[in-house]
Chains A and B, each alone.
Chain A
Amino acid sequence: MTIILLAMAVTTGLFLGMAVILLVAERHLVNYGTCQIIVNGGEQRFSVEGGGNLLAALLENNISIPASCGGKGMCGYCKVRVTAGGGALLPTETPFLSRRDIAIGTRLACQVKIRQDVSVNVPDFLDVISDMVRTGTFDKHAKWRFSIKGEEHEGF
């Protein structure tokens, strides 16, 4: 009986100790303050707590970006164009981006960590489709074509 209690005490003590260390470290080390996300050049803007990733921030504010892997950097669907404040391209993203993508600033939203104000262009047809899905008017048997007009939408 004592051994069970002792085991529980040691495990709990160690886990608690590490949780406290990690929380303190997080409070002091990973604090970026509040950052602005500017979507499509000022069409929409909102403030989020820094430190999270761009995909989560966009989803929280009802901008749906497809991400079948759940933001693990595995599927490569969450491509957005980051025009400012995205930081350097990560090696985890390069397999999903062509040279042209990289040249125009395409990033995987789940791999962009918010450390400062971020300007981002999201493809707008996604909005149309997510509205249709939400209201139940999306016909999955219909064929969809997207024509890409102008310089603004290249890459999507």
Chain B
Amino acid sequence: MNPTSPMVILVASILTNNILLAGFLGMCSFLACSTKIETAVGLGTAVTFVMVCTTTLNYLLYHYVLVPLELEFLAFILFIAVIAGFVQLVEMVMERFSPKLYHALGIFLPLITVNCAILGAALFMVIRNYNGIQSAAFGLGGGLGFLLAIVLMAGLREKMGYSNVPAPLRGTAVLMLITGVIAMTFMGFAGMITMQ
């Protein structure tokens, strides 16, 4: 088992090992949904919630079903299936019992099914040999890291709406540049905490 404490994993996955800015996973929804801070907060919160739950579920599935039966090679397919099924279920429950929450988060849930950051978190959890609590902490940290990155991006994009971007860079090009700059800034955190 991995000896790192869950608290360290939580902080490290937000700052030093940010799943978006260090791993470059989940870029599609990061670029698509970062036009407004409000939307970004909604998507980020939904990702955090789903990531915590699915990482834990996938941990249980992997260590209590796949490992005893020596079926580790099925992890990819089954992780995706668990994520998709869980998202569907949450969407239905949310719509029924909390229409307000559904309007805030629910519309982002279908986008999350195919968010590679969520699958990435589940696979890192396996590679890094986390136990249950560490996995949950990693899921929470990964989600919060995503939230932080996408809100930063949305803030910059809202500001950028008023600035005169050079013609060849307009649109996605300048977004890529900004993402790179934010990622480099986050490199400043490297060495603060080491996580494996």
Decide yes or no whether B115 CB sits under 8 A from chain A.
no
Whether B103 contacts A22 by the Cβ 8 Å rule is no
Q: What are the interface flags for A1-34 relative to B under an 8 Å C-beta threshold, 1 for contact and 0 otherwise?
A: 0010011001100110010011001100110000
Number of A residues with CB within 8 Å of any CB on chain B: 18
How many A-B pairs have beta carbons closer than 8 Å: the answer is 50
Closest chain-B Cβ to A92's Cβ sits at a distance in Å of 6
Decide yes or no whether B69 CB sits under 8 A from chain A.
yes
Decide yes or no whether B182 CB sits under 8 A from chain A.
no
Whether B39 contacts A91 by the Cβ 8 Å rule is yes
Number of B residues with CB within 8 Å of any CB on chain A: 24
Chain B residues within CB distance 8 Å of chain A: 38-39, 42, 61, 65-66, 69-71, 73-74, 77-78, 81-82, 85, 88-89, 92-93, 95-96, 103, 107
In the assembly, what is the distance between CA of A140 and CA of B61, in Å?
A: 57
In the assembly, what is the distance between CA of A88 and CA of B95, in Å?
A: 13
- CB neighbours of A90 from chain B (8 A): 103, 107
User: Contacts A88-B103, A91-B107; is A14 near B92 (CB within 8 Å)?
Assistant: no
Partner of A10, one of B69, B89, B95: B69
- CB neighbours of B81 from chain A (8 A): 14-15, 18
Nearest-neighbor residue (CB-CB) of A28 within chain B: B96
Nearest-neighbor residue (CB-CB) of B39 within chain A: A91
Whether A25 contacts B89 by the Cβ 8 Å rule is yes
Give the residue among A25, A88, A92 with the most B Cβ atoms within 10 A. A25
